[in-house]
Chains A and B, each alone.
Chain A
Amino acid sequence: MFNYTMRRLLLAIPTLLFIALVIFLLLELSPGDPMADMPLTIPPEIREQMRLALGLGEPWYTRFFKWLYLFSVVEPSHVLASITGLENLAIDGQRIISFQTRSPVGDIIAQRLPQTLWVVGLSYLFGILVSLPIGIYSAYRQYSWFDQAGTFVSMVGFSLPTFFTGPLLILIFSIWLGWFPIIYDTTLVVDSWYDFALQMRQMAMPVFVLTLYNAAQITRFMRASMLDNLTQDCVRTARAKGLTERVVVLVHVLRNSMIPVITVIALGIPQIFTGAIITEQIFRVNGLGQLLITAIYATDIPMVLTLSVVFAILIVVFNLIADLLYAVFDPRIRYD
Chain B
Amino acid sequence: MHDGAVPVLDVRNLKTVFSTRSGEVHAVNSVSFDLRPGELLGVVGESGSGKSVTMMSLLGLLPSPPAEIRGGEVWLGDTDLLTLGEDGLRKVRGREVGFVFQDPMTSLNPVFTVGFQLTEPLRTHLGMSKTRARERAVELLELVGIPDARRRLGDYPHQFSGGMRQRVMIAIALACDPKVLIADEPTTALDVTIQAQILELVKELRQKLGMAIIWITHDLGVIAGIADRVMVMYGGQVAEHGPVRELFANPAHPYTRALLQTMPKIHGARDAKLRVIEGQPPVMGRHPESCPFMARCAHAFDRCARENPTRRDIGAGHDVACHWDHRTGEPVQDLAEVAS
Given the complex of chains A and B, what is the CA–CA distance between A232 and B121 in angstroms?
A: 19
* A233-B101 contact, Cβ under 8 Å, with A243-B124, A330-B111, A331-B111: yes
Q: Nearest-CB distance from A267 to chain B (Å)? A: 20
Q: Nearest-CB distance from B86 to chain A (Å)? A: 8
- B90: interface (CB < 8 Å): yes
| A-chain residues with CB within 8 Å of residue B121 when the two chains form the complex | 241-243
Q: Nearest-CB distance from A250 to chain B (Å)? A: 13
The interface centre, meaning the residue of A241, A259, A332 with most chain B CB atoms within 10 A of its CB, is A241
Given the complex of chains A and B, what is the CA–CA distance between A330 and B156 in angstroms?
A: 10
Cβ < 8 Å to A, chain B residues 77-128:
86, 90-95, 98-99, 101, 103, 106-112, 120-121, 124-125
| A-chain residues with CB within 8 Å of residue B238 when the two chains form the complex | none
Is the beta-carbon distance between A242 and B90 smaller than 8 angstroms?
Answer: yes
- B158: interface (CB < 8 Å): yes
* A238-B90 contact, Cβ under 8 Å, with A243-B120, A332-B156: no
| A-chain residues with CB within 8 Å of residue B59 when the two chains form the complex | 240
Is the beta-carbon distance between B110 and A236 smaller than 8 angstroms?
Answer: no
Is the beta-carbon distance between A234 and B110 smaller than 8 angstroms?
Answer: yes
Is the beta-carbon distance between B106 and A234 smaller than 8 angstroms?
Answer: yes
Is the beta-carbon distance between B158 and A331 smaller than 8 angstroms?
Answer: yes
Is the beta-carbon distance between A239 and B93 smaller than 8 angstroms?
Answer: yes
Q: Nearest-CB distance from A2 to chain B (Å)? A: 20
* A237-B107 contact, Cβ under 8 Å, with A242-B94, A242-B95, A242-B121: yes
Cβ < 8 Å to A, chain B residues 145-178:
156, 158, 169, 172
- B61: interface (CB < 8 Å): yes
User: How many positions in chain B have a CB within 8 Å of any CB in the partner chain?
Assistant: 28
| B-chain residues with CB within 8 Å of residue A331 when the two chains form the complex | 110-111, 156, 158
| B-chain residues with CB within 8 Å of residue A242 when the two chains form the complex | 90-95, 121, 124-125
| B-chain residues with CB within 8 Å of residue A252 when the two chains form the complex | 109, 112
Given the complex of chains A and B, what is the CA–CA distance between A234 and B109 in angstroms?
A: 5
Given the complex of chains A and B, what is the CA–CA distance between A239 and B108 in angstroms?
A: 12
Given the complex of chains A and B, what is the CA–CA distance between A256 and B112 in angstroms?
A: 9
Is the beta-carbon distance between B61 and A240 smaller than 8 angstroms?
Answer: yes
Given the complex of chains A and B, what is the CA–CA distance between A42 and B61 in angstroms?
A: 85
- A329: interface (CB < 8 Å): yes
| B-chain residues with CB within 8 Å of residue A239 when the two chains form the complex | 61, 93
Given the complex of chains A and B, what is the CA–CA distance between A239 and B95 in angstroms?
A: 12
The interface centre, meaning the residue of A236, A237, A259 with most chain B CB atoms within 10 A of its CB, is A237
- Residue in A238, A244, A259 whose CB lies within 8 Å of B109: A238
Q: Nearest-CB distance from A239 to chain B (Å)? A: 6
Given the complex of chains A and B, what is the CA–CA distance between A122 and B266 in angstroms?
A: 72
Given A237-B109, A243-B120, 19 more A-B residue pairs with CB atoms under 8 Å apart are A233-B107, A234-B110, A236-B107, A237-B99, A237-B107, A237-B108, A237-B169, A240-B98, A241-B99, A241-B121, A242-B95, A242-B124, A247-B120, A255-B111, A255-B112, A329-B111, A331-B110, A332-B110, A332-B158
Some 27 contacts from A to B, beta carbons below 8 A apart, are: A232-B106, A233-B101, A233-B103, A233-B107, A234-B107, A234-B108, A236-B101, A237-B107, A237-B172, A238-B120, A240-B59, A240-B93, A240-B98, A240-B99, A240-B101, A241-B93, A241-B99, A242-B121, A243-B124, A247-B124, A252-B112, A255-B112, A256-B110, A330-B110, A330-B111, A332-B156, A332-B158
Using a CB–CB cutoff of 8 Å, the interface residues on chain B facing chain A are 59, 61, 86, 90-95, 98-99, 101, 103, 106-112, 120-121, 124-125, 156, 158, 169, 172
